[in-house]
Amino acid sequence: MNLDAVYSELTLKTNAKIALVVLDGLGDLATKNQGEMTPLEAARTPNLDALVAQGCAQGRMIPVAPGITPGSGPGHLALFGYDPLEYQVGRGVIEALGLGVELKAGDVCARANFATLDAKGIVTDRRAGRIPTETCERLCKMLADKVKKIGDTEVIIKAGKEHRFVVVFRGKGLEGPLTDADPNREGFPIPQVKPRDPANAKQKKMAKLVADFYKAALPILQNEKPANGFLMRGIAHQPEIPLFEERYLLKPACLAVYPMYKGLAQLVGMKKLEGPQTIAEQFRAYQAEYSNFDFFFIHYKYTDKYGEDGDFEAKKKAIEEFDAALPILLEKKPDVLCITGDHSTPCALKAHSWHPQPVLIHSAYSGSDKLQRFTETGANQGSLGVFEAKYLIRLLQANARMFDKFGA
């Protein structure tokens, strides 16, 4: 039984508006060091508290599967209702999206590093001494100017930070994933890439293209020091993902500031609304565009950023900044409002984690869990329980009365 097909069959088009506010990495841990409080618990959030008082359902979400820590890709795909175990997005694609490359269907992307090779082609430094970003940009421009195409295939090269860049191959009949052009340690030559599936003709063609790209690009770098070579990893095409609008009968818009999240939204066909830089500006843009879309994905980065820094106070303040802006969103109250994270980024870990993130749903039909606030500890007692994040969108649709009854 394909559950997605069941949902699709039951889906009705309505006029309901849904807003999904993602406070990236929101979830946290109550540790002794932090007075047994999470940043969300320690923060002053009068506007959020008032919303909770109006009646909300709360719970916690498992981003991918028990114990698994997601990257931003799987974390967001789950929030968008795509099983992150089924829809895996290659590292190259995520990096390209993160650098703001506008990907097209069929594009094959590779994450690349500038590296140092000795006279025999042995990798002596996989990161070329972490060259400055400016050097990386100069080298990428040099490569891009000289290698615009390999055969019929367009090559797009974009610099990242320090030694990092991405290479996008845009052509016909190309597919990943390939093995890495990276020995993954020093003292070995750059290996030839191979199809992951030896029987796949498109992967074979792609492997040949990568080899030809090396032949064209390496001579251009030969007099550079220390970056006279490069490695390529995570070589894969953009996966085919059913479009959000067709899947949910919701016309979606994305209000994100960072390119990675815009890219992930674009992957499922959301319309990017450009311009706003702060959460208050994002909420104002939501207001302005309210009548043009049914679904708003509003992404707030700073909870994750300060969680990764292990900066409890800053994460708490980021939540308070969100709370201060919340009334702007509520001026045009959506039929269904959801506030959550894509995963937890506990200050104690300074990294993404597997801990289920708290989630809040407010609608005319959410009911009230009679909790005072929106917190991790409160959410443990919520009516939504602990569930897989990929089901969130279905709960939002249900709250929007978008599902017909199943069976008589």
For 282, the token pair is: 């994002």
Residue 153 or residue 304: which is nearer to a second copy going by CB? 304
Residue 84 or residue 177: which is nearer to a second copy going by CB? 84
Q: How far is the CB of 15 from a second copy (least distance, A)?
A: 18
Residue 32 or residue 120: which is nearer to a second copy going by CB? 32
Q: How far is the CB of 32 from a second copy (least distance, A)?
A: 6
199 Cβ neighbours under 8 A, 6+ residues apart: none
Residue 6 or residue 288: which is nearer to a second copy going by CB? 6
Q: How far is CA 195 from CA 91, 175, 203, in A?
A: 16, 9, 5
Q: How far is the CB of 107 from a second copy (least distance, A)?
A: 16
Residues forming beta bridges with residue 27, ordered by sequence position: 344
Q: How far is the CB of 406 from a second copy (least distance, A)?
A: 5
List alpha helices for 86-200, DSSP H: 91-98, 133-146
Q: How far, in Å, CA of 388 to CA of 400, rounded?
A: 20
Q: How far is the CB of 63 from a second copy (least distance, A)?
A: 9
Q: What is the CA radius of gyration of the chain?
A: 23
Alpha carbon distance, N-terminus to C-terminus of the chain:
18
Residue 94 or residue 190: which is nearer to a second copy going by CB? 94
Q: How far is the CB of 44 from a second copy (least distance, A)?
A: 19
Q: How far is the CB of 182 from a second copy (least distance, A)?
A: 15
**Among the listed residues 204, 28, 8, the one whose alpha carbon sits nearest the alpha carbon of residue 108:** 204
Residue 270 or residue 384: which is nearer to a second copy going by CB? 384
404 Cβ neighbours under 8 A, 6+ residues apart: 10, 11, 12
DSSP string, 266-327: HHTTPEE-----SHHHHHHHHHHTGGG-SEEEEEE-HHHHHHHHT-HHHHHHHHHHHHHHHH
Residue 62 or residue 117: which is nearer to a second copy going by CB? 62
**Among the listed residues 145, 146, 166, 152, the one whose alpha carbon sits nearest the alpha carbon of residue 206:** 152
